[in-house]
């Protein structure tokens, strides 16, 4: 009887942990995808400023640190390279999410992602932008070295 009760408790606890892990994985993926939304907002805000092309580094930092949709610490300008017709920006976005049932450590975790944004001003249609979202394991430092 005691063994059966112990086994039932073990099965119940295991079930709760599996559900919590799945829920945590879902929150982590949603937070990771939210970084894409931040990158899109960044592009929209840069283009809305109608600054003279090619943009300078100060202009990019201003958008990241004081843009209306940017929270402090949410984005970091990692690298910027300019030519006459393009501006290539390497930007890092991060967001916090709640981990489910943290046994050790903080209940909050950070989802982060590096993006390459290429602004092009060579066309007659004005400035356009292409956003490349890099994989979870790709750091901005690796991309600068390429």
**23-61: per-residue pLDDT in tens?**
556 777 888 888 899 899 899 988 888 777 778 888 888
Q: Where are the domains of the chain?
A: 2-145
pLDDT, residue 10, reads 54
pLDDT, residue 32, reads 80
pLDDT, residue 89, reads 94
- Given a cut of 50, the residues of the chain with pLDDT beneath it are 13, 15-20, 22
pLDDT, residue 78, reads 92
Percent of the chain that is helix, strand, coil (3-state, to 5): 45, 25, 30
């Amino acid at each position: 009887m005691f063994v059966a009760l112990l086994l039932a408790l073990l099965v119940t606890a295991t079930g709760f942990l599996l559900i919590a892990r799945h829920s945590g994985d879902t929150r982590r993926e949603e937070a990771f995808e939210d970084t894409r939304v931040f990158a899109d907002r960044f592009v929209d805000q840069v283009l809305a400023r109608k600054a003279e092309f090619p943009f300078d580094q100060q202009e990019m930092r201003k958008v990241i640190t004081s843009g209306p949709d940017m929270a402090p610490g949410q984005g970091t300008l990692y690298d910027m390279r300019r030519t006459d017709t393009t501006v290539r920006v390497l930007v890092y976005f991060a967001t916090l999410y709640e981990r489910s049932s943290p046994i050790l450590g903080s209940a909050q975790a950070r989802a982060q992602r590096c993006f390459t944004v290429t602004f092009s001003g060579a066309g007659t249609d004005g400035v356009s932008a292409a956003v490349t979202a890099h994989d979870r394991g790709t750091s901005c430092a690796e991309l600068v070295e390429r």
